[in-house]
A and B are shown apart, each in its own frame.
Chain A
Amino acid sequence: MAEQLNYVSAVNAALHRAMRGSSDAILFGEDVAKPGGVFGATKGLHLDYGRRVFDTPISEAAILGAAVGAALRGKRPIVEIMWADFALVALDQLVNQAANVRYLSNGSQCAPITVRMQQGHLPGSCAQHSQCLEAFFAHVPGLHVAMPATPEDAFHLLLTAIATNDPVIVIEHRGLYFGPKAEVTTEGPVQPIGGAVVRRPGRDVTVVSWGAMLHRTLDAAELAATEGVEVEVIDPRWLSPFDVETVVASVSRTSRAAVVHEANVTGGFGAEVVARVSDAAFHDLDAPIARIGLPDVRVPAAPHLQQAVVPSPRSIADAIVELCRR
């Protein structure tokens, strides 16, 4: 069955399906039950699933720690951290606790936890509500990281996360929640973890991008096409596990590559993409791989100041065209 859903409705539909599908699934976080989540992602769930859906205090360490403990005792917790920035106050429970469970127990225990959070800037969002932190999580062995960019992926990556027997961080983007509806296949099997998708084919340059920046990259590809540059856009969808093969296969045809993300450039996951592609396809490259991201500044609140630092379709297109002329 396919439904027309926007991104946040797709999240909601996936949560309904997961809660319906497993009596071990429990869902909690700040304002997720009666209020339905600050963005409505969890709307209505508490009505259908009773005690398995509940509001918590503003206590990220308790939310994530309780998820670990409940998982150790057979539950499949799905928790919401309202803003990715807020995960920073409770990283211990993700990095020191959840990520260690399987390894430390030599595989005898696991922590099937899904942590939903959303990130990124929107006009006016302050520096503590704008950061893109995916590289933090992708750095940690034991955690998986999903970066859905479309309603279809908002649904399926979340379902996959919930079905995975290890902690998965699903990083949504607030700027995508209320975007256009798209057809979402809401039935059928849960997809396997990982796997990149070619969002636009092109022969001249491979550009890897995820999250909200994927859409700016697709717009940039249109602009570049008017200048005679055909861009292949790849959406990795998962940063951990990262599907380097799909990217390398593309680069071996195009001979040029760039990576675009909303996170700061230094230590961003783009650096990892550059390293892995260089390792695998160094001799196929006609130019160094370009990294396009937020320069190493904090995120200002004023919209015009944000625009001055966040990559735009125009600035991305210019960087790609320049790369192709090197």
Chain B
Amino acid sequence: MTALRPTVDDADRTPLDDYRAMLTIRRFEEKVLELRKADCISGSVHLCIGQEAIPVGLCSVRRSSDPVFATYRGHGWALACGSKPESIFRELLGRCGGTNEGRGGSAYLSDPKVHFMGENSIVGAGAPIAVGAALASSIDNSGEVAIAAVGDGAMNQGAVHEALNLAAAMQLPVVFVCENNLYSELTPIADMVHQPELWRRAAAYGMPGMRIDGNDPTAVRSAAADALGRARDGGGPSLIEAMTERLCGHYIGDAETYRPAGEVQRAGAQEPLVRLRRAIITQRPAEVDDIEQAVIREIDAAADAAMAAPLADPSTVREHVHG
């Protein structure tokens, strides 16, 4: 299938576009779950089911050259940046033609062609790297804004503090997006901080901060448009805390015994796809149905094509350590 297209210049963007983009990520992740359970995919896989509105909302107002640095829960960010589902499937499956030719895998893939600069499987490590990208933009006056997505757990990493401070000190064009899914891996973030409103930290760095409904792509778009515009105009960094909930485990296989009874079910009523579908189904039932059929077809076709691709070539495994 074709890649999702960021629609920064698309004044006609409708809720159906958001629905299609979020559903693409959802269906992609569900397919990944199937493939992992069937042992076609190996290793740790961290799904973003329930968190789709954040990458979709932000990337709908991102310029296509704005570099994005995500976490290991980053398939949705790659797709929202415009990576082709088949290329990511191939990467997860260790097939040739994967975004990283099988070297990255689920937790550490990148696709610089679409300025998806990479996931990172070290919590918080992408934040200072994003600041470096913002530094390059600042020196070149390129107008690009770096986007650093981190989880709530990463907000307790020293590297993230260093990144926030350096970005603020130098007034660099970077937007920090904290995807707060309430769990710092397997532990509630509220137990790991005394002040669980993480957005309040922005004030201490002297940058704008806000907490938004991260399950609403429109709310994300609005906050992101402000922050990106401010950064592009030389107004420095911002911190957006986007509240969301994981509808799945930290990783595939996580038994989630730490989650209170009923929590995931309650979250399921507030998750972005259910909400948006509820809002649009009565007016646009036929279009919603078309989108749903098409996305399933396209993701299934992408997965099938990836499964049919040859494995990445082991004879090249020692290449590219050095230039």
Our verdict on whether A and B bind, yes or no, reads: yes
> Looking at the complex, which one of B69, B108, B140, B323 makes contact with A166 (CB distance below 8 Å)?
B323
Residue of A nearest to B103 (CB): A104
Q: Is the CB–CB distance between B110 and A105 below 8 Å? A: yes
Does residue B321 face the partner (Cβ distance < 8 Å to A)?
Answer: yes
Q: Give CA–CA (A147, B93) in the complex, Å.
A: 41
Q: Give CA–CA (A46, B166) in the complex, Å.
A: 19
Q: Give CA–CA (A165, B307) in the complex, Å.
A: 35
Q: Is the CB–CB distance between A142 and B133 below 8 Å? A: no
Residue of A nearest to B170 (CB): A54
Binds B, one of A5-13, A56-64, A119-127, A197-205: A56-64
- CB proximity of B102 to chain A, nearest CB, Å: 8
**Which chain A residues (50-100) contact chain B, with CB distance < 8 Å?**
51-52, 54, 56-57, 59, 61-62, 64-75, 77, 90, 92-93, 96-97, 100
Q: Is the CB–CB distance between A57 and B166 below 8 Å? A: yes
Residue of B nearest to A95 (CB): B122
Instruction: Assess A109 versus B322: contact at CB under 8 Å? Given A65-B125, A73-B136, A92-B159.
Output: no
**Which chain B residues (85-134) contact chain A, with CB distance < 8 Å?**
100-101, 103-104, 108, 110, 112, 117-118, 120, 122, 125, 127-134
Q: Is the CB–CB distance between A102 and B323 below 8 Å? A: yes
> Looking at the complex, which one of B69, B118, B129, B162 makes contact with A59 (CB distance below 8 Å)?
B162
Does residue A110 face the partner (Cβ distance < 8 Å to B)?
Answer: yes
Q: Is the CB–CB distance between A73 and B110 below 8 Å? A: no
Instruction: Assess A73 versus B166: contact at CB under 8 Å? Given A66-B131, A96-B122, A102-B321.
Output: no
Q: Give CA–CA (A93, B122) in the complex, Å.
A: 10
> Looking at the complex, which one of B136, B139, B162 makes contact with A57 (CB distance below 8 Å)?
B162
Q: Give CA–CA (A52, B139) in the complex, Å.
A: 7
Does residue A261 face the partner (Cβ distance < 8 Å to B)?
Answer: no
Does residue A226 face the partner (Cβ distance < 8 Å to B)?
Answer: no
- Most chain-A Cβ atoms within 10 A of its Cβ — which of B104, B125, B159? B159
Q: Is the CB–CB distance between B129 and A92 below 8 Å? A: no
**Given the complex, which residues of B lie within 8 Å of A165, measured CB to CB?**
323
Q: Is the CB–CB distance between B117 and A65 below 8 Å? A: no
Instruction: Assess A142 versus B321: contact at CB under 8 Å? Given A69-B136, A72-B117.
Output: yes
- CB proximity of A125 to chain B, nearest CB, Å: 25
Q: Give CA–CA (A239, B11) in the complex, Å.
A: 57
**Given the complex, which residues of B lie within 8 Å of A110, measured CB to CB?**
323
- CB proximity of A84 to chain B, nearest CB, Å: 19
Does residue B320 face the partner (Cβ distance < 8 Å to A)?
Answer: yes
Give the total number of A-B pairs whose CB atoms are below 8 A apart.
133
Q: Is the CB–CB distance between A73 and B321 below 8 Å? A: no
**Given the complex, which residues of A lie within 8 Å of B101, measured CB to CB?**
106
- CB proximity of A59 to chain B, nearest CB, Å: 4
**Given the complex, which residues of A lie within 8 Å of B122, measured CB to CB?**
92, 96-97
Q: Which bracket fits the contact residues of B?
A: 35 or more
Does residue A26 face the partner (Cβ distance < 8 Å to B)?
Answer: yes
- Most chain-A Cβ atoms within 10 A of its Cβ — which of B132, B134, B159? B132
Residue of B nearest to A106 (CB): B101
Q: Give CA–CA (A92, B162) in the complex, Å.
A: 14
**Given the complex, which residues of B lie within 8 Å of A75, measured CB to CB?**
135-136, 139
Q: Give CA–CA (A18, B20) in the complex, Å.
A: 50
- CB proximity of A123 to chain B, nearest CB, Å: 33
Q: Give CA–CA (A224, B133) in the complex, Å.
A: 54
Does residue A136 face the partner (Cβ distance < 8 Å to B)?
Answer: no
**Given the complex, which residues of B lie within 8 Å of A97, measured CB to CB?**
120, 122, 125, 129
Q: Is the CB–CB distance between B128 and A65 below 8 Å? A: yes
**Given the complex, which residues of A lie within 8 Å of B132, measured CB to CB?**
65-73, 77
Q: Is the CB–CB distance between A104 and B321 below 8 Å? A: no
Does residue B180 face the partner (Cβ distance < 8 Å to A)?
Answer: no
Q: Is the CB–CB distance between B128 and A93 below 8 Å? A: yes
Q: Is the CB–CB distance between B321 and A69 below 8 Å? A: no
**Which chain A residues (100-119) contact chain B, with CB distance < 8 Å?**
100, 102-110
> Looking at the complex, which one of B67, B104, B170, B320 makes contact with A73 (CB distance below 8 Å)?
B67
**Given the complex, which residues of B lie within 8 Å of A164, measured CB to CB?**
323
- CB proximity of B318 to chain A, nearest CB, Å: 9
- CB proximity of B216 to chain A, nearest CB, Å: 30
**Given the complex, which residues of A lie within 8 Å of B162, measured CB to CB?**
57, 59, 61-62, 65
Does residue B231 face the partner (Cβ distance < 8 Å to A)?
Answer: no
The residues of B with any CB-CB pair to A shorter than 8 Å are 67, 69, 100-101, 103-104, 108, 110, 112, 117-118, 120, 122, 125, 127-137, 139-140, 144, 146, 158-159, 162-163, 165-166, 169-170, 319-323
Q: A57-B166, A62-B165, A66-B132 are in contact. List 12 more A-B contacts (CB 8 A).
A: A65-B129, A66-B166, A68-B129, A69-B129, A69-B133, A69-B146, A73-B137, A97-B125, A100-B108, A102-B320, A104-B100, A104-B118
Q: List 17 A-B contacts (CB under 8 A).
A: A59-B166, A65-B125, A65-B127, A66-B128, A66-B129, A69-B117, A69-B135, A72-B129, A75-B139, A77-B132, A96-B125, A97-B129, A102-B320, A106-B319, A106-B320, A110-B323, A166-B322
